[in-house]
Amino acid sequence: MSTPSVGPATGTRTHCPYCSLQCGMTLERSGRTLQVQPWADFPVNEGALCRKGWTATGLRGHRERLTSPLLRDGATGELRTASWDEALDVVATRMRALQAESGPDAVAVFGGGGLTNEKAYQLGKLARVALGTSQIDYNGRWCMSSAASAANQALGLDRGLPFPLADLERTDLVVLVGSNLAETMPPAARHLDRLRERGGRVVVLDPRRTATAERADLVLQPLPGTDLAVALGLLHLLDGAGAVDEEYVATRTTGFEDVRRSVAGWWPERVERVSGVAAEDLRELAGLLADAERAVVLTARGAEQHAQGTDTVLAWINVALALGLPGRDASGWGCLTGQGNGQGGREHGQKADQLPGYRMIDDPAARAHVAGVWGVAPETLPGPGRSAYELLEALGTAGGPRALLVTGSNPVVSAPNADHVTERLDALDLLVVVDLVLSETAARADVVLPVAQWAEETGTMTNLEGRVVLRQRAVAPPAGVRDELELLADLAARLGSPVPFGTDAAEVFAELGRASAGGRADYSGITHERVRAEQGVFWPCPAVPEGRAPHPGTPRLFAERFATPDGRARCRVVEHRGPVEQPDAAFPLHLTTGRVLAQYQSGAQTRRIRDLPDTGPFVELHPLLAARIGAADGEPVVVTTRRGSLRAPARVVDSIRPDTVFVPFHWVGANRLTHDALDPSSRMPEFKACAAAVWLAASPDPTPDVSSAQATVREQAAAGVPA
C-alpha cells in the first residue's frame, strides 16, 4: 500500500468521493471519528465543499456497511455470509463453467465512473486478459459520452474541460447549456459569482429555472431535447450579424461553409416554434456572444443525455468555432463531466471500444502496444463489445452474457427503462456485485463482495479539467473488507490469468502510464509522488528521456493546433430531429430528469448518510399544470410513461415550463419512466426527454395500459417502426 501523508496538524490530504470536481479535503482522526476539514490551498475548491463533501465520512461505521461476502443460498434463496475463499471460488468456478459452455463472451463486466484510475485500468485488464471477454462497459457511458464523441469528431481529443476551471472567472461570458452547476457541483459556482462581480455575464439554458439560473443574467427555457435547434438558430444569427471570426475559421477549421449553409433556414421564429425559446431571447444571446471578447460555452447532461446528444454538442462546438473561441485565453467549449472519475474511467479501459490511453481496441498498433505492456499476444485480446445499455439489454438472452460482474454501479436505479434492465439482471445465471452496501442491484445478486471505500484506499482520479489527483488512504477498512485491487488480483489468479495483477496502487498506476504512453490520454509522465507534490497534473503528460526536465502537463489544449491529423478542427453539419418519443393525446407532457443538491447518482451512498436530507422522489410541475389536474403542493401524484409509473408528492413551482415535469433520479422509480433510445454515435440513452402523463393519485388512471403500450413500442422497434 502507498503510505498516506499524515501529520498531527495536516491530517491526510485527499479528495471528495463524489462529483468530477474532486474537491480537495483533509481527513483528521479524532479518536474513532474521522472528520472532514478544509484543504484551503487546493486550487479547484480552495477549501470549499458542498454538504455532500462535508458529510462524506458518514458511511464509516454505518450499520448497513457490508463487512463480509454474501452468497445466495440455493435452498432458501436468501443471501448468507461466506468467507472470501468460498465466495471467490464460487465466482471463478461458475464463470469458467459458463465460458466453457458458451464462449468467453458469456461473462460480462460492468464498471463505474467512480472507480479510481487504477481500478478502472485493472478492471479492463481483468476483462480482456483474465476473462478474455469483449463484454465490458461502464456507467460513464451515461455521463458524458455524447460530449466525448462530439469532441473527438470536432477537436480530435476528448477532455471535459480543455482549460482549468478557474478560467471561467476570467472570461466575459459563460453560456451553460443543460447544466445546474450550483446544485450538482456547488463549489464551482463561485467562479460564476466572481465573473459577474467583475462585470461578466452568465447565460443558462434549461427547461427549469434552477439555482444556477438564479445566478444568470439571461435564462432560456427550451423544451427538453431542443438545445440543438437553439444552437442552429444562434449560429444563423451570428453569421447574419457578421460575428463569425472569418480568419480563425479559414485557418483553424474545415467544413464551416457547409455548416453556414445548413443553418441558413434557422431563423429565430422557427427556433421559437420548435424550442419554445422566444425569438427576442435568442437574439439577446446572439448579441451577448457577438460582443464578448472572450466567451466559454459549456454543455452538460441536460443537452447530452439524448438520442441526438452528440449532434447537439457538435452544434454548440460549431458556435464556439465560428466565434474563434477554442484555444484562446479564457475562451472555448467544454463539457462539465458528472461522475467523480467519468473522465479517467473511460480513458483506461472500461469502455467497450477502448484500451488504456484512449487507444481504440480495433487499432492493430494500439493492441500491440497494450498487449506488450500486459505481456500477452495481441491476437488474444478481444475486439469491441456492446455499449452499456446494449450490454445490459442482452443479459440472459440467446447469445448474450450469462454472467455479469458489476462494480461501482447500481443499474437497477440508474439504467434507463429500469424495469426492463432489472428483468435482464434477473435472467442471468450469475450476478456478482462489488459494493460497500447492499444497493438495489446488490440485493438481487448471487454473490456480493464488500470492498474499501474512498477514505480507506489510495488511488488517482481525473477530474473534469483533466487534472490527475491523488486520493490517499486515511484509515484502514473494516475487518473483512478487501481493497478492490487485491480482490481483482485474487479473482484474476483464480480465473487462470496468464499474467499476474498488481495490488499496490502506485505500481498499478506506473503500469497504466506505460500502457497509455503515446496514446491520446498519455499519463506516462505522471507518478503518485508527482501528483502529491504538485496538487495534480494535467494530461497529456508524456514521459521524457532521463536527464531532461519532466513534462509540465497540459492545463490548456488547442492553443496552436487541434488534435487532428492536419491540426484543424472539424465543423460538422447536424440537423435537429427532436426526441424519439413526442407527446401525444395519451402522454401529453415532456418528462425530464436530473439531480438535487443533497443526493448523488443512484443515492446508494448519500441516501444512507444521516446528515443529508432524504426527501424521496418528487414530481416537479408548474402551477398551471397542477391546477389542471387538481394537485396541491405535497399531494401525491402519479407520473406515467410507456415504460412505467411513479407515485410521488407533487412539488408545485413556477420555475418549470408548464408543459414539462421533472423527477430526480436518485431513487428507485425515476428511471422506470425514461426512454432507452440510443444516440447512434455515443450510445447514450435518452434520459432527458420522453412523453409522459401526470394525474392526481386519488383520480382514476387516464392513460392506456402501460405494459400494453410498452409491448407495442417494442414490437414496432423490432419491426423497424419509429416509436
CATH number at residue 242: 3.40.228.10
Domain boundary among 505, 538, 571: 538
**Share above pLDDT 70 across residues of the chain, in percent, rounded to a whole number:** 96
Q: What pLDDT shows up at residue 700?
A: 78
Q: Are residues 482 and 450 in the same domain?
A: yes
Element containing residue 628 per DSSP (H, E):
helix 623-629
Q: Are residues 292 and 360 in the same domain?
A: no
Q: What pLDDT shows up at residue 574?
A: 98
Between 90-104, 522-536, 705-719, the lowest mean confidence (pLDDT) is in: 705-719
- 3-class SS string, 384-437: CCCCHHHHHHHCCCCCCCCEEEEECCCHHHHCCCHHHHHHHHHCCCEEEEEECE
- Record the pTM: 0.94
CATH number at residue 464: 3.40.50.740
Q: What pLDDT shows up at residue 716?
A: 44
pLDDT of 703 above 80: no
Q: What pLDDT shows up at residue 710?
A: 43
CATH number at residue 41: 2.20.25.90
Q: Is residue 51 part of a domain?
A: yes
pLDDT of 270 above 70: yes
Q: Which residues pair with 652 in a beta bridge?
A: 621
Helix (H, G, I), strand (E, B) or coil at 176: strand
Helix-, strand-, coil-residue percentages of the chain, each rounded to 5? 35, 20, 45
Q: Is residue 569 part of a domain?
A: no
Q: Supply φ then ψ for residue 382, to 5 degrees.
A: -70, 170
Q: Are residues 597 and 513 in the same domain?
A: no
Predicted confidence (pLDDT) per residue in 645-659, tens digit: 999 999 999 999 999
Q: Are residues 22 and 110 in the same domain?
A: no
Predicted confidence (pLDDT) per residue in 508-525, tens digit: 999 999 999 999 999 999
Say how many Å lie between the first and final Cα of the chain, rounded: 53
5 against 43, higher pLDDT: 43
Q: What pLDDT shows up at residue 715?
A: 46
Q: Is residue 551 part of a domain?
A: no
CA dist 393 and 723 (Å) reads: 18
pLDDT grade, residue 3 (50/70/90)?
very low
Q: What is the mean pLDDT of residues 463-488?
A: 96
Q: What pLDDT shows up at residue 713?
A: 41
Predicted confidence (pLDDT) per residue in 103-132, tens digit: 999 999 999 999 999 999 999 999 999 999
Q: Supply φ then ψ for residue 641, to 5 degrees.
A: -125, -175
Q: Are residues 107 and 211 in the same domain?
A: no
Helix (H, G, I), strand (E, B) or coil at 175: strand
Between 102-106, 139-143, 302-306, the lowest mean confidence (pLDDT) is in: 139-143
pLDDT of 93 above 90: yes
The DSSP 8-state label assigned to residue 352 in this structure reads T
Q: What pLDDT shows up at residue 699?
A: 79
Q: What pLDDT shows up at residue 483?
A: 96
pLDDT grade, residue 712 (50/70/90)?
very low
Q: Are residues 174 and 318 in the same domain?
A: yes
pLDDT of 583 above 70: yes
Residues counted in the chain: 723
Q: What is the mean pLDDT of residues 559-573?
A: 97
Q: Is residue 547 part of a domain?
A: no
Domain boundary among 307, 335, 363: 335
Predicted confidence (pLDDT) per residue in 346-399, tens digit: 888 899 999 999 999 999 999 999 999 999 999 999 999 999 999 999 999 999
Residue whose cell numbers read 464463470: 95
pLDDT grade, residue 338 (50/70/90)?
confident
Q: Are residues 133 and 199 in the same domain?
A: no
Q: Is residue 578 part of a domain?
A: no
pLDDT of 544 above 70: yes
Query: Grid coordinates standing for 345?
Result: 474511467
Q: What pLDDT shows up at residue 465?
A: 96
Q: Are residues 104 and 149 in the same domain?
A: no
CATH number at residue 689: 2.40.40.20
pLDDT of 628 above 60: yes
Domain boundary among 277, 301, 335: 335
Q: Is residue 654 part of a domain?
A: yes
pLDDT grade, residue 30 (50/70/90)?
confident
pLDDT grade, residue 666 (50/70/90)?
very high
Q: Are residues 163 and 136 in the same domain?
A: no
pLDDT grade, residue 708 (50/70/90)?
very low
Query: Grid coordinates standing for 502?
Result: 498488481
* Count: domains in the chain: 4
Q: Is residue 571 part of a domain?
A: no
Query: Which of 210-219's residues contact partners 24+ apart within 8 Å by CB, and which partners?
Result: 210/180, 210/182, 210/183, 210/655, 211/180, 211/182, 211/183, 211/597, 212/176, 212/179, 212/180, 212/181, 212/182, 212/183, 213/655, 214/182, 215/182, 215/189, 216/176, 218/281, 218/284, 218/285, 218/288
Q: Are residues 200 and 129 in the same domain?
A: no
Q: What pLDDT shows up at residue 25?
A: 97
**Share above pLDDT 90 across residues of the chain, in percent, rounded to a whole number:** 91
Q: Are residues 432 and 530 in the same domain?
A: yes
Q: Is residue 417 part of a domain?
A: yes
CA dist 52 and 43 (Å) reads: 19
Query: Grid coordinates standing for 368?
Result: 500491440
Q: Are residues 355 and 494 in the same domain?
A: yes
The three-point CA angle 350-352-356 to 5° equals 50
Q: What pLDDT shows up at residue 346?
A: 84
pLDDT of 5 above 50: no
- The boundaries of the domain holding residue 447 are 70-142+341-538
Q: What pLDDT shows up at residue 705?
A: 53
Q: What is the mean pLDDT of residues 65-79?
A: 96
